[in-house]
């Protein structure tokens, strides 16, 4: 069992506060990579920390506390997305490469980090399947509308939206670890 978690189980507030202070921002960035909503991300992370503090004696954490918290945050984010019916076609979340770089990284990010992340996004796009690459480039680099992309690629608007959703998830998945490494050396 994780030493930090053992101390939290004993009710050691100092250890809990130190764990919270050291990891809170990192977990919020992780949650925000799913939600693209800073306030909701902060709320979910805070709820997870409160849950761990209040239920430490009932929890059976055999691996690392960090891994356990990440899994809890991810699951709560996915539950939240399901609860707001995120797949609703009329409310498709806009994924913009530049917004991803600017909104999902804490304010202290310097221009060099932003350039690194932007180039990483472009590299990730290059690894996507050809049709998905074309869809992403037409939407976010050239500013095409869904209908224009559908016409250009001879596919349906729903296929365009599906391709963009899948691309967004893939980019977020690969980019999250890069962001964490840049900011926390995780």
Per-residue pLDDT of the chain (186 residues; tens, 9 = 90+): 578 888 999 999 999 999 999 999 999 988 887 777 788 889 999 999 999 999 999 988 877 888 889 889 988 887 877 776 544 333 333 344 444 443 444 344 556 666 666 677 778 888 888 888 888 888 877 778 888 888 888 888 888 888 888 888 888 777 776 666 665 554
Distance CA 180, CA 102 (A): 15
Cβ pair 45, 31 in contact under 8 A: yes
All structural domains of the chain: 3-83 (1.10.1740.10), 90-184 (1.10.10.10)
Q: How many CB atoms lie within 10 A of CB 90?
A: 4
> How is 111-159 classified by DSSP, letter by letter?
HHHHHHHHHHHHHHHHHS-HHHHHHHIIIIIS---HHHHHHHHT--HHH
Nearest to 184 by CA among 106, 124, 115, 117: 106
Q: To 10 degrees, what angle do helices 13-35 and 157-184 make?
A: 150
- On the CB side of 57, how many CA atoms lie within 13 Å of its CA? 4
Q: pTM of this prediction? A: 0.49
């Amino acid at each position: 069992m994780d030493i930090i978690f053992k101390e939290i189980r004993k009710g050691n507030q100092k250890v809990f506060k130190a764990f919270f202070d050291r990891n809170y921002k990192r977990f919020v960035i992780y949650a925000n990579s799913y939600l693209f909503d800073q306030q909701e991300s902060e709320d979910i992370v805070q709820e997870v920390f409160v849950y761990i503090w209040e239920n430490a004696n009932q929890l059976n954490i055999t691996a690392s506390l960090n891994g356990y918290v990440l899994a809890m945050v991810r699951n709560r984010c996915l539950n939240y997305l399901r609860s707001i019916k995120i797949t609703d076609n009329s409310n498709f979340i806009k994924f913009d490469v530049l917004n991803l770089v600017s909104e999902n990284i804490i304010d202290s990010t310097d221009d060099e980090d932003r350039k690194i992340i932007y180039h990483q996004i472009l590299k990730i796009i290059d690894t996507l399947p050809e049709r998905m690459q074309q869809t992403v480039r037409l939407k976010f680099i050239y500013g095409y509308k869904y209908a224009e992309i559908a016409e250009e690629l001879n596919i349906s608007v729903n296929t365009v939206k599906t391709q963009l959703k899948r691309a967004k998830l893939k980019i977020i998945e690969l980019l999250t670890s890069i962001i964490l490494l840049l900011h926390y050396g995780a």
